Amino acid sequence: MRTRQNVRPSTFEKPNAVLLCIVAWFVPGAGHLWLQRTRNGLILFTALSLMFAIGLVLGGRIFPFEPSQPLVALASIADMGIGVAYVIARLAEWGFGRVAISTYEYGNTFLITSGLLNFLVMIDVYDIAMGRK
Amino acid sequence: MCTILLWGENRNLASHFGLLVLFSIFVSLVFAVLMRENLGEQLRLGGTLFASFVLSAIVLGWMMYAVPW
């Protein structure tokens, strides 16, 4: 499927795939922006950042990494997927989780899903960098 | 959407269906962007995914209505 977005100037040199993945993890959509897929990058940045923010507003919890509790550890890894927003939220002590409110589980779902989707975004960036897309 | 965000802590005002719709919008958007290249195809896939999310939730919700526990 050849489209307008696939046509890149021949002078554009693709950066290192691993570096791209790290950037894509740290800032959602930044990998796509670097690869000159501006529209997709902006959409991904907006959607994933908003999802994470809404998760925090809904009282979701940013889970600590607890190897003794496998499900909590997995949720923690998923939370970490959003990159810099996770770091900011941890430093600002947001996302401690308000269990008593009705939207707590919804908040967790938004937080976890935003991180997992950003992992998919990283894989997409890797595929583009390797010339598979 | 504003109601969901501003009064999410209030049990009476938090709309579960509204949150489902919001979640579906975001997930459909990201999948459409990742799986399709041009705008027309992205809109088509995003719309299909969004409709599938919402309709399946409604159908499953009514199916669970009949479950006694």
Confidence of residue A113 (pLDDT cuts 50, 70, 90): very high
A59–B5: do the CB atoms touch at under 8 Å? no
CB contact, 8 Å: A62 with chain B?
no
Confidence of residue A6 (pLDDT cuts 50, 70, 90): low
Question: Which tokens is A25 given?
Answer: 């993890």
* Helix ranges (DSSP H) in A36-129: 38-57, 70-80, 84-91, 104-129
pLDDT (average), residues A87-99: 91
B8–A5: do the CB atoms touch at under 8 Å? no
Residue with the bigger pLDDT between A35 and B69: it is A35
Give the A:B interface size as CB pairs under 8 Å.
Answer: 58
What Å distances lie between residue A124 and A4, A34, A74, A130, B22, CA to CA? 18, 13, 22, 10, 24
User: Is 70 exceeded by the pLDDT of residue B2?
Assistant: no
Q: Which residues of A touch B38 (CB under 8 A)?
A: 1, 3-5
B27–A50: do the CB atoms touch at under 8 Å? no
How many helices (H) and strands (E) are present in chain B, helices listed first? 3, 0
For B21, the domain range is 2-65
Q: Residues B31, B45: contact at Cβ < 8 Å?
A: yes
Mean pLDDT over each residue of chain B, to the nearest integer: 85
Mean pLDDT over each residue of chain A, to the nearest integer: 90
Confidence of residue B12 (pLDDT cuts 50, 70, 90): very low
A101–B8: do the CB atoms touch at under 8 Å? yes
Q: Phi/psi at A126 (nearest 5 deg)?
A: -60, -45
Given B5, B22, B33, which is nearest A43 (Cβ)? B33
Domain count, chain B: 1
Q: Any idea which residue has 């990201």 for tokens?
A: B30
Over residues A20-46, the pLDDT tens digits come to 999 999 999 999 999 999 999 999 999
Look at residue A8 in the predicted model and tell me its pLDDT.
54
% of chain A with per-residue pLDDT over 90:
78
